[in-house]
Structure formats: structure tokens, C-alpha cells
Amino acid sequence: MTQGKPRRSDATRAAILTAARERFAADGYERATIRAIAADAGIDPTMVMRYYGNKEKLFAAAAEVDIRLPDLTEVPRDRVGTRLARHFLDRWEHDETMAALLRAGATNEGAAQRMRDMFAHQLVPVVVPIVARACPDPSQAAARAALVSSQVLGAALCRYVLRLEPFVTMPIDEVIAWLGPTLQRYLTATGPEAR
Amino acid sequence: MTQGKPRRSDATRAAILTAARERFAADGYERATIRAIAADAGIDPTMVMRYYGNKEKLFAAAAEVDIRLPDLTEVPRDRVGTRLARHFLDRWEHDETMAALLRAGATNEGAAQRMRDMFAHQLVPVVVPIVARACPDPSQAAARAALVSSQVLGAALCRYVLRLEPFVTMPIDEVIAWLGPTLQRYLTATGPEAR
DNA sequence: AGCACATGTCAACAACTGTTGGCCTACACT
DNA sequence: AGTGTAGGCCAACAGTTGTTGACATGTGCT
């Protein structure tokens, strides 16, 4: 389906992508230079241009990410929050693409747009059926999804980008135990005032 | 105390700082150039160097910010969360220095360090006496303060930096109504499992 | 008035950026 | 064996960056 003919340069292309993800994740969009990425990949900077056109397209290719949200309708309703928290934290822990996108999103408009798209096309659709049970107003679904995003992104920001001390050393299960109920409330509480 | 003799260049210095804050808030650390800041301030780029030494010191001067947290011990215990949420949102809404620091913190180590310092020296001390009533373990206080930070920073990120749609148009009172109980739980719940 | 010093302007440097074109090599196909 | 083409490297361009030094102007003090 997605795969074309295998090219002789596939290894190089993959090396570039890997190096790009590392650099973008560590330095953000502007400080991650094509030269540094090429050096990490052990090739000439020209190759990056040949295979990915320009820096913007390279980032677009490197930051292509799938949240891989599970089907939450299969999860017991009162476990949805914790399940989501665990999934996101796991995702962030094992895929530096997420950190790359977050770091770059703070200063690069293209990266920010991509995050907005991810939110709209990947998170909102999954959240809608969950919210529907507590609140039939469909416009509320997007708001609740945004609240979930804010807590998840905030935690990722503190833990993986700012490296705020108590957050970095906190065991991941403890983070999940704290965030779970928060997400749960955002998704299934009947209104903002609900505790 | 803090004020020295008034200098003839005070107006220029202030203009530079204002322009710097705007640029850093809008573009982040690396994309905000000294030339652009100087142009906004209507002066020569050289003056920036003369008065602030270099770009890093300019940022340090421009991003000097006081959270101005109120004394939470005066607030009814069950209103602390909402009170905090309102204060932070208000602060962010009226002082672009906050956005400048957040944007820059994602890619600039100096800015990140400053955020960590703000957390340790401004937020933690205020949070400690509040937490103490629910949980006598003082090491827990920093963890709970970090959780508060994560939700506040995440909301600011979505609303002022990424401009995630449902979050930008949501009335500020609604945001506060949602975040308040979350912060309340982080501060006064007896443990992570508490709803 | 004369002098010291703060304020401001102009031109330029050196380093680095994304990006381009030319050239060489090695593989695939006939 | 010969040829087209993809893969790869080198040198270089044009623009921008932070930063520096030399030089002019004006203000305040004696």
C-alpha cells in the first residue's frame, strides 16, 4: 500500500530521519541545523536537501506521528482517565518524536499547526463518544478534549522539556495516578463545577 | 532601594525592554533578533549591546517576572484551587512576559532554568503550608506544586502559544471553573487516588 | 568656555544559516 | 561492455546573525 519500490538510498533516508528526530527533540526547530543532522547521520548536508526538499519538509517528515489512541469505548467508563494518562505517558517515554513536536511547536508555526491537526483529527474523534454519555452537547466534546490536551501537554512539558525536578524523578506510575482522575473528570464529569 | 540615579537613557532602556518582551513572546528566543528588537524600539542595535551586554543578558532582563502569588493561607481552604487558577490566568492574560518565558523555555536552556527557579522559589514556598494540612510529608509538597505547574503551564501553552482552537475561544471564567477543582485536588487531596 | 562622559550612528567583521550547481562514482539494465 | 541514472561529495553563494570598533553628537559639570 504505502510502500513503493525499495531504493538503494533507503538506509540513508532512514538515518537522516532518525538524526533529525533526535536533533529536533533536543534543540527545537531553529537550533537544529541541517548540517548537524547530516553530521549525526554520517552523510553530506546536500543529501538532506535532495531527499526532503528543504528544512520545513524534513521536519514535516520527521515529526509525522500517530498518537495511536486505543479504542476507549472498550474500557470501563470509570477507568478511561487513567487509561488515557498511561497511554500518553508511555507514548512520550518511548518516542522522541513527541518531544520533537512539542519543543518545535513552541516557536515554529508549522509544528504548532501540526499539533492542532493532531488534536482535531486524532484526539477529538476518540473523545467524542466518551463525552457523549455525560454530556450530549457535541460542542462540549472539543472543549473537554482541549482540557485533556492541556494537562497531558503540560505534564510532558514539565517532564521532558523543562525537566522540572520533582516531575522528572517522580515514578511514572505516580504521575499516572495523579493525572488519571484529572482526565477522568474532564471527560466524564457532568459540568465544570463537578468534583 | 533598587533604583539608582535616573539616567538620560532610561527611556531608551525601557523601550528596548518592551520591544524585547514583545519579540521574545511572539517569536521565542532564537527567532527574536536583536536587530528586530532594536527596530521596534526605534534605536540602533548597538545600543542593545551597550546597555544589556549580549542577547542572553537582554533576555534575562526582559524575562524577569514575579508571579505575585497571593497569600493563600488567607483564602478559604476549599477555594484555593480556583483562586490559584484565576490568578495565573489573569497573570498570563495581562503580562506578555509570561508568554515570552514559556515560548523561550522550550528551546533555550537559560529560559528553562529560570522557569525552574521560579517554580522553586515562588510557587513551592506558597504551596507548602497549604499542602501541609492534607499531608504532613514535606517532600510531597514539591511534587504537588509540580502537578499544579503542569496543569497551569499546559493550559497556557494551549491557549497562548499553540493557540489550540477550543481553548482560545473558551471564556476565561469557564477555563478557571475547569482548572480550579484540578488544582484543588493536587493541593488538598489526601493522596493521588483521591477523587 | 572647556572638558569628561554618556548617548547615539555607521560600517564592518566573522561565523553560521539554508540552499544550489557541478562533478565524480557505482550500480542496474540492455 | 556500454550507458543511463541514482547516490554521494565538494565548494560556494547569498543572506542573516551576534557582536565590535571607530567616530560623531550632545549633555552636564567646573
Is 50 exceeded by the pLDDT of residue A195?
A: no
DSSP B190: S
CB B158 within 8 A of CB B100: no
Q: Is the CB of B15 under 7 A from strand C?
A: no
| Protein-covered nucleotides on strand D (Cβ within 7 A) | 6-11, 16-22, 27-28
Binned at pLDDT 50, 70 and 90, residue B193 comes out as low
Residue with CA nearest C1' of nucleotide C21: A46
Is 70 exceeded by the pLDDT of residue A1?
A: no
Question: B182: which 3 cell numbers?
Answer: 484540578
Binned at pLDDT 50, 70 and 90, residue B79 comes out as very high
- Tell me the pLDDT tens digit for each residue of A34-63: 999 999 999 999 999 999 999 999 999 999
Q: Is the CB of A56 under 7 A from strand C?
A: yes
CB B130 within 8 A of CB B72: yes
Query: Distance in angstroms, CA of A25 to C1' of C28?
Result: 38
Q: Is the CB of A49 under 7 A from strand C?
A: yes
- Tell me the pLDDT tens digit for each residue of B110-126: 999 999 999 999 999 99
Specify the nucleotide whose C1' lies closest to residue A30 (CA): C17
In angstroms, what CA-CA distances link A116 with B128, B162, B168? Answer: 36, 8, 12
* Average pLDDT for chain B: 94
Chain A nearest-CA residue for B153: A154
State the average pLDDT over residues B15-44. Answer: 98
pLDDT of A19: 98
Chain B residues close to A123, C-beta within 8 Å: none
SS3 B110: helix
Measure the CA–CA gap between A189 and A34, rounded to whole angstroms: 47
Specify the nucleotide whose C1' lies closest to residue B57 (CA): D18
Pick the residue with more confidence: A190 or A34? A34
pLDDT of A193: 56
Measure the CA–CA gap between A62 and A14, rounded to whole angstroms: 10
Length in residues, chain B? 195
| Protein-covered nucleotides on strand C (Cβ within 7 A) | 6-11, 16-22, 27-28
Chain A nearest-CA residue for B161: A106
CB A77 within 8 A of CB A188: yes
Measure the CA–CA gap between B119 and A64, rounded to whole angstroms: 33
pLDDT of B173: 98
In angstroms, what CA-CA distances link B69 with B77, B78, B126? Answer: 16, 17, 8
Question: B102: which 3 cell numbers?
Answer: 514559556
Burial class of residue B67 (count of CB atoms within 10 Å of its CB; 0-12, 13-18, 19+): middle
Is 80 exceeded by the pLDDT of residue A17?
A: yes
pLDDT of B195: 44
Is 90 exceeded by the pLDDT of residue A66?
A: yes
Measure the CA–CA gap between B180 and B174, rounded to whole angstroms: 10
- Please indicate whether, in this complex, the C-beta atoms of A149 and B158 are within 8 angstroms of each other: yes
Chain B residues close to A81, C-beta within 8 Å: none
Length in residues, chain A? 195
- Tell me the pLDDT tens digit for each residue of A113-147: 999 999 999 999 999 999 998 877 878 999 999 99
Nearest by CB: A157 against B28, B153, B194? B153
Matching residue, cell 538510498: A9
Report the gap between the CA of B178 and the closest CA in chain A (Å).
5
Q: What is the 3-state secondary structure (H, E, C) of chain A?
A: CCCCCCCCCHHHHHHHHHHHHHHHHHHHHHHCCHHHHHHHHCCCHHHHHHHHCCHHHHHHHHCCCCCCCCCHHHCCHHHHHHHHHHHHHHHHHHCHHHHHHHHHHCCCHHHHHHHHHHHHHHHHHHHHHHHHHHCCCHHHHHHHHHHHHHHHHHHHHHHHHCCCHHHHHCCHHHHHHHHHHHHHHHHHCCCCCCC
pLDDT of A148: 98
Chain A residues close to B110, C-beta within 8 Å: none
Of A1-5, A56-60, A89-93, B128-132, the poorest mean pLDDT is in A1-5
- Please indicate whether, in this complex, the C-beta atoms of A161 and B106 are within 8 angstroms of each other: yes
In angstroms, what CA-CA distances link B89 with A115, A155, B153? Answer: 22, 18, 10
Going B36 to B41 to B46 to B51, the CA torsion angle's sign is: negative
State the average pLDDT over residues A171-184. Answer: 98
Q: Percent of chain B scored above 70 by pLDDT?
A: 95
In whole angstroms, what separates CA A144 from the centre of its chain?
A: 18
State the average pLDDT over residues B95-103. Answer: 97
Chain A nearest-CA residue for B145: A166
Binned at pLDDT 50, 70 and 90, residue B1 comes out as low
DSSP B7: P
Specify the nucleotide whose C1' lies closest to residue A47 (CA): D8
Question: A23: which 3 cell numbers?
Answer: 536533533
Question: A11: which 3 cell numbers?
Answer: 538506509
- Please indicate whether, in this complex, the C-beta atoms of B146 and A166 are within 8 angstroms of each other: yes
